[in-house]
Amino acid sequence: MNHAVVLVDLDDCLIPDGAAVRAAIRAVLEELSIVADEQAVDTVLAAARREWRGNPHCGHPEVQRVASWEALWADFHDLPVPEAVVRALVGNDVRAWRLALDDLDSSADAEAAALAFRRLRSALVIPFPGVESALDSLGERHELWLATDGCRSLQRAKLRLSGLAGRFQRVFVSGEVGHPKGTPEFTAAVSTALTGGRTVCFVVGDSVTTDLLLAETGGWPFVRITDELRFAGAPAFCRCP
């Protein structure tokens, strides 16, 4: 049994998020015959932000780390929250697209746009180059645990779509933990799971807030993913004896 654990982030570490959302929005606009330039993408993102931040339940622990662009394709139907909260969350995507299309002076159908975005965004859940082989390499000497911010339905759907779900022995999603990644409570949930002499070799992620804080609060080494250091290079940071 491997006693060293590598704690791995998901979005913009193993799979693209920021670039994928922009590409998916561009593809939606093209399908709707709307000019799909960067400004139009920004307009859609701003509308998504307005709608999501205006939702009285966007701070619920189950969804508080769901970004406004993720709320465009998260499935809120089966979250373990009161029915009134589900009702307020479901339909966020169509409302956001309606705002966006209005801002773009388009009369296109918001429901069609919302459905197209879900389809096109889902198709872009593809691991970055070299991710599988890096996980193979790390998996030889470590347990791989995933630590990700967001709601359970979307983060687990992404993991499934990426084809990487079977690689991870443990998965921590902030919505399930009840606390955001980077808080002492989230770190405590991970630490509590480090039974049987397990130690953390390193935390790897792209965020200098959430991922770095997870490492700092746990007292674990941090490997930061950047444009120069992709996850494919992460195995080189193992210092296990």
- Write down the least CB distance from residue 32 to Mg ion, Å: 30
User: Under DSSP, is residue 63 helix (H, G, I), strand (E, B) or coil?
Assistant: coil
Q: 8: part of which helix (H) or strand (E)?
A: strand 4-8
Give the span between the Cα atoms of 102 and 160, in whole angstroms: 34
Contact between 149 and Mg ion per CB under 5 A: no
Q: Residue 47 or residue 146: which is nearer to Mg ion going by CB?
A: 146
Least distance (Å) from Mg ion to the CB of residue 65? 11
Q: Rule CB under 5 A: is residue 176 a binding residue for Mg ion?
A: no
Binding mask 196-235 for Mg ion (x = CB under 5 A): ----------x-----------------------------
Q: Among the candidate windows 8-16, 106-114, 138-146, 159-167, which touches Mg ion by CB under 5 A?
A: 8-16
Q: 155 by DSSP, 3-state: which?
A: helix
Shortest Å distance, C-beta 17 to Mg ion: 7
Q: What share of the chain is helix, strand, coil (3-state, %, to 5)?
A: 50, 10, 40
Is residue 11 a contact point for Mg ion (CB under 5 A)? yes
CB of 35 closer than 8 Å to CB of 83: no
Provide the phi-psi class of 200: left if phi over 0, else alpha when psi is between -120 and 50, else beta: beta
Name the site residues for Mg ion (rule: CB under 5 A): 9, 11-13, 206
